[in-house]
Amino acid sequence: MRFLEGHQGPVNAALFSEDGRFIYSAGGDGHIRYWNASTGEYIRSPVRNGFGVNVMAVDHTLGVLAYGGANGVMKALSLDGSGSELELWLGGPPVLAVSIDPASQTMAFGTSEGRIVIADALVGELSHDFLAVKGPVWAMAFTKNAEHLMIAGLDDFVTRIPLDNLIVPHPLAAEDRRFHPDEPVDNGQRQFARKCSVCHSLTPSSERRAGPTLYGVFGRKVGEVSDYPYSPELMDMDLVWNEVTIDRLFRDGPDIVTPGSKMPIQRIKAQKDRDDLISYLKRATAPVPQ
């Protein structure tokens, strides 16, 4: 085994070059790093995004590297460094999926709010920009010649969207999502479903989630959930979760309150929504008396 060390914080994606000789890695530090696979030597960083890079796709036929970031960036650049960088979007919701189809020279991006942007992979001209689902787009792939785009999120389905005659499933007409309970919920629970349930559980275990459990979160110091691999920045942080710090987290954003964390950049603007979320969390995360 070989360990490639250099990223500061989490590594969110890794890909081999077509010939297997090199590795691309994308991290929460905003770098996409280029490595020699046989020696582990760090060669260069073709991307220095500033905010975390969540996903990337490499196509050697077109010579294109496309990537999406925590700050909503959707960009593509040439693998050999020639030509200008293509910037499709910046400042939107976090980008969680990306795919390239070399035959049609097409690339697609999916965001945490269900938006999909499709563009020419070589010149960056947009062909489609639409809301596909309620909730995040976690994964996507083109079928042959980009005739269809396959997308997957938090619902129970993989959805196929025809691109030659675009028919978008209306997000509001879709079947109930499993993370949206059928029974009426209060505003705090609704905020949790929208902002927290993707990555955090309310049970003692963090298993199968991208973030640590919120069970017993009030009064707990950052970095103290035993079954979760925190970044070094959080392990060294002197921060205790309570009504004030949780309010700050969603008012100012994790990039300000917990820099170095894997948490996507998101904020809750309305004070009432933050208050309702905190009230719900106090009820839902309280440890059960033994």
Domain extents for the chain?
11-173, 187-284
Q: How confident is the model at residue 169 (pLDDT cuts 50, 70, 90)?
A: low
**CATH of the domain spanning 187-284, picked from 2.40.110.10, 3.30.2010.10, 1.10.150.120, 1.10.760.10:** 1.10.760.10
Residue 153, pLDDT score: 84
* Pairing between β-strand 64-69 and β-strand 53-59 as defined by DSSP bridges: antiparallel
Nearest residue to 20 via CA among 4, 35, 1, 2: 35
Terminal Cα-to-Cα distance of the chain (whole angstroms): 44
Measured between alpha carbons, how far is 275 from 278 in angstroms, rounded to an integer? 5
Q: In what order do the strands lie in the sheet with 31-36?
A: 11-16, 22-27, 31-36, 42-48
Q: Rounded to an integer, what is the distance from CA 226 to the centroid of its chain? A: 23
Q: How confident is the model at residue 184 (pLDDT cuts 50, 70, 90)?
A: low
Per CATH, the number for 11-173 is 2.130.10.10
Residue 205, pLDDT score: 83
Q: Is the pLDDT reported for residue 45 higher than 70?
A: yes
Percent of the chain residues past pLDDT 90, beyond the cut: 57
Q: Is the pLDDT reported for residue 209 higher than 80?
A: no
Average pLDDT, the chain: 88
Q: What is the mean pLDDT of residues 40-52?
A: 91
Q: What is the mean pLDDT of residues 209-225?
A: 91
Neighbours of 114 (CB within 10 A): 19
245 versus 180: which is more confidently predicted? 245
Its sign, for the CA torsion 70, 176, 187, 193, is: negative
Measured between alpha carbons, how far is 224 from 238 in angstroms, rounded to an integer? 11
**Residue 63 falls in which region: left (phi positive, over 0), alpha (psi -120 to 50) or beta:** left
Helices (H), the chain: 187-195, 232-235, 243-252, 254-257, 271-284
Most confident of 119-128, 146-155, 281-290: 119-128
Give residue-wise pLDDT tens across range 57-94.
999 999 999 999 998 999 999 998 787 789 998 778 89
Query: Exposure pattern of 160-186 as b/e (b: 16+ CB <10 Å)?
Result: ebebeeeeeeeeeeeeebeeeeeeeee
- Whether residue 68 contacts residue 74, with contact meaning beta carbons closer than 8 Å, is answered with yes
Its sign, for the CA torsion 145, 147, 153, 159, is: negative
24 versus 226: which is more confidently predicted? 24
Residue 217, pLDDT score: 95
CATH topology agreement for domains 11-173 and 187-284: no
- Whether residue 33 contacts residue 24, with contact meaning beta carbons closer than 8 Å, is answered with yes
Q: What is the mean pLDDT of residues 150-155?
A: 84
Residue 172, pLDDT score: 41
194 versus 28: which is more confidently predicted? 28
pTM of the model: 0.63
| Size (the chain), residues | 290
**Element (DSSP H or E) covering residue 75:** strand 74-78
